[in-house]
């Protein structure tokens, strides 16, 4: 009987626990859940803590499965411009050396990144990003004089030439897909060909006070027809003017292009004796009224390595020759 009375009292308490009472009890927790912002770390640097560039980027989300921060639309967020970093920490020299060794190793086993797997590409991007954040040189665009060999690229190697930079610069950003498709078609059309040694020489121009000059040399081995044993070799040399507009930025204006070292009988000697230069800049001037100006940004340079990005954020890693 006593047990039955206790059960009745328990049931009675549950009955008087009306929905409003339950809401009152759980409301503080509910309110806290919706008013306390939940912070998610969307990106963290993997660099050792001794490096001064370690950052965390936080975003507030209204729900865990939201794709974008609350109260913002992805189209409303303006892209942030990247600026050059200068790292003066002596202890970071060891980190830089380790990153460079791993990057150059990946460059050698993937043929300048051309045959990198998706996992290797992710590692390469991470290594390049960390090195850029550990750049030891102030005003890197002023410290690039000399000869540089291309060892790694996130895009087609031929796009390191000012000739192709000018083509990209001539096309508005809204038509970027069109020119990218054109580059891809060019790449597939030359599958029977090989891009060999790629070198850039940067020097102060004798004719342009205060500006620099970029000479791009690309060794090309062209197959006349797939499977046909005859191949045409030569070096495509393109010259461009470099105008420094920021510590890391060059404006690149193409001037002329020529071919030397051809293995075609008679033509090779003729081209060496009478170099045929195509005034690409003048051609652009005549056709469109102005020469397209490309943009290059160097975010890392030291005594032996340089990392430069184009307008589409493709990066080119050069080793000093």
DSSP secondary structure of 123-140 = HHHHHHHHHHHT---SSG
pLDDT score of 64: 42
Residue with tokens 């975010």: 299
User: Over its length of 321 residues, how does the chain's per-residue pLDDT go in tens digits?
Assistant: 544 554 555 454 444 444 444 333 434 443 333 333 433 333 333 343 333 333 333 333 333 444 544 454 545 545 567 889 999 999 999 999 999 999 999 999 999 999 999 999 999 999 999 999 999 999 999 999 999 999 999 999 999 999 999 999 998 888 888 888 887 776 665 555 678 899 999 997 665 556 899 999 999 876 555 555 556 678 899 999 999 999 999 999 999 999 887 665 555 565 566 667 889 999 999 999 999 999 999 999 999 999 999 999 999 999 999
Give, as one character, the DSSP assignment of residue 98: H
CB atoms within 10 A of CB 51: 18
Q: Which of 163, 197, 172 is nearest to 283 (CA)?
A: 163
pLDDT score of 260: 83
The three-point CA angle 292-297-301 to 5° equals 140
Q: Which of 161, 308, 305 is nearest to 238 (CA)?
A: 161
Dist CA 116 CA 110 (whole Å)? 5
Dist CA 318 CA 139 (whole Å)? 17
pLDDT score of 190: 58
pTM: 0.70
pLDDT score of 259: 84
pLDDT score of 133: 96
pLDDT score of 152: 97
Q: Which of 12, 317, 299, 293 is nearest to 140 (CA)?
A: 299
């Amino acid at each position: 009987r006593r047990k039955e009375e206790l059960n009745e009292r328990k049931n009675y308490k549950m009955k008087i626990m009306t929905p409003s009472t339950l809401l009152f009890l759980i409301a503080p927790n509910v309110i806290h859940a919706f008013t306390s912002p939940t912070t998610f770390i969307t990106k963290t640097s993997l660099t050792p803590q001794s490096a001064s560039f370690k950052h965390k980027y936080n975003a507030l989300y209204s729900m865990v499965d939201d794709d974008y921060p609350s109260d913002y639309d992805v189209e409303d967020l303006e892209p942030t411009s990247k600026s050059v970093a200068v790292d003066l920490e002596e202890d970071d020299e060891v980190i830089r050396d380790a990153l460079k060794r791993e990057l150059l190793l990946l460059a050698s086993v993937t043929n300048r990144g051309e045959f990198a797997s998706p996992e290797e590409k992710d590692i390469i991007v991470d290594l390049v990003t960390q090195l850029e954040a550990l750049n030891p040189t102030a005003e890197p665009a002023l410290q690039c004089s000399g000869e540089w060999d291309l060892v790694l690229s996130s895009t087609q190697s031929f796009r390191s030439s000012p000739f192709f930079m000018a083509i990209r610069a001539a096309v508005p950003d809204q038509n970027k897909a069109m020119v990218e498709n054109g580059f891809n078609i060019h790449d597939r059309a030359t599958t029977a060909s090989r891009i060999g040694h790629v070198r850039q020489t940067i020097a102060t121009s004798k004719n342009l006070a205060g500006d620099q000059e970029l000479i791009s040399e690309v060794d090309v081995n062209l197959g006349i027809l797939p499977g046909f044993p005859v191949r045409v070799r030569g070096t495509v040399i393109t010259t461009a003017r470099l105008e420094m507009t920021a510590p890391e930025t060059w404006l690149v204006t193409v001037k002329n292009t020529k071919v030397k070292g051809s293995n075609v009988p008679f033509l090779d000697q003729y081209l060496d004796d009478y170099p045929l230069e195509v005034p690409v800049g003048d051609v652009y001037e005549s056709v469109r009224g102005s020469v397209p100006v490309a943009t290059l940004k160097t975010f890392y340079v030291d005594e032996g390595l340089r990392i430069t990005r184009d307008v589409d954020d493709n990066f080119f890693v050069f080793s000093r020759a």
